[in-house]
Amino acid sequence: MRRVLTLLGLLALSGLTNQAQAQTTPAAGSQADVLSTFFTSPEKVLPRLYEAAIAHSGDIERLEATKQVANEDLKLTRKRLLSTLGLASNYSYGTTPFYGGTENPSYFNFNPFSYGARSQYLVGVNAAVPFDLLFMRNTMVRRQEQVVNQAVGMRKVSEATIRQQVIVQYQALVLARVVQQAAQEAWQSASISKKIADKRFRDGDIQIDEQMAVQDLYTKAVLAQAEAQNRYQTAQLLLEDAIGTSINNIVLGR
């Protein structure tokens, strides 16, 4: 009876272990599929790389600031005519002659000591419009509009340049990954050949020159694998520097 219970317990534990492995395996496979998509589906990956690189570019930030300044200058140009208008006010206190409502000429013989003092307030609008501003306002506005269009065009050119750079760096990374995988396989093959040659040399089946030839191939494979790894890491770092984030974040859609 105890043996039966023990057997049932082992079967239950085995079932739970298999279930846990089945639950974790799709996640690992899913991540591998996403990584494979990054290197095999540029039509899906490149738009995200473009967006990240443009958002990270300092040149784009500078051009955006230039565009905003040009827009503000355009607003000032359109409202520049208002700068020629102004309010004028004046205040005075004293005796002032009155010239209205009389037909007696002697009334105009003004004696300041014969009138009472009083306060006077004057308020008005003053306008001084230069002729160049008056007749060339539309031309100045159009000119500033062209400055804004120029800033927009410069941004488009910069974005196109960034996209081209991202394409080159992405292709370099894909090629470096292929070379790295080939170099890794060549190194593994050379490592197995070296082990076999070393064993056969110890058993006396091959001569020293044959064993040295295999050793030379293995050394070259190690150097090629290290060089391929270095090129892949360099391409990855350059691309990540251009986009301002890691490739894993792009792969995972962060």
| Largest Cα span, the chain | 149
Higher-pLDDT residue of 109, 189: 189
CA gap 134, 60 in Å, rounded: 37
pLDDT confidence of residue 170: 96
The alpha carbon of 228 is separated from its chain's Cα centroid by a whole number of angstroms, namely 29
Query: Tens of pLDDT along 190-244?
Result: 999 999 999 988 888 888 899 899 999 999 999 999 999 999 999 999 999 999 9
Using CA atoms of 202, 203, 206, 210 in order, give the dihedral in degrees to the nearest 10.
-20
Token reading at 251 = 């792969």
Q: What pTM was computed for the model?
A: 0.66
Q: Which residues pair with 121 in a beta bridge?
A: 91
Contacts of 141 (CB under 8 A, 6+ apart): 74, 77, 78
Closest CA to 150 of 67, 74, 58, 54: 67
Residue 137 CB neighbours (<10 A) = 15
Lowest mean pLDDT among 19-23, 130-134, 149-153, 169-173: 19-23
pLDDT above 60 (res 142): yes
Q: Which CATH class is domain 39-88+120-251?
A: mainly alpha
Burial of 172 (0-12, 13-18, 19+ CB in 10 A): middle
Q: Average pLDDT, whole number, for the chain?
A: 78
Ranked by mean pLDDT, the top range of 37-41, 69-73, 87-91, 165-169 is 165-169
Residue 173 CB neighbours (<10 A) = 22
pLDDT above 80 (res 40): yes
Beta strands in 15-151, from DSSP E residues, in sequence order: 85-94, 118-127
pLDDT above 60 (res 9): no
pLDDT confidence of residue 149: 92
Token reading at 91 = 């205040």
pLDDT confidence of residue 87: 64
The alpha carbon of 149 is separated from its chain's Cα centroid by a whole number of angstroms, namely 21
DSSP secondary structure of 136-156:
HHHHHHHHHHHHHHHHHHHHH
pLDDT confidence of residue 126: 63
Domain ranges of the chain: 39-88+120-251
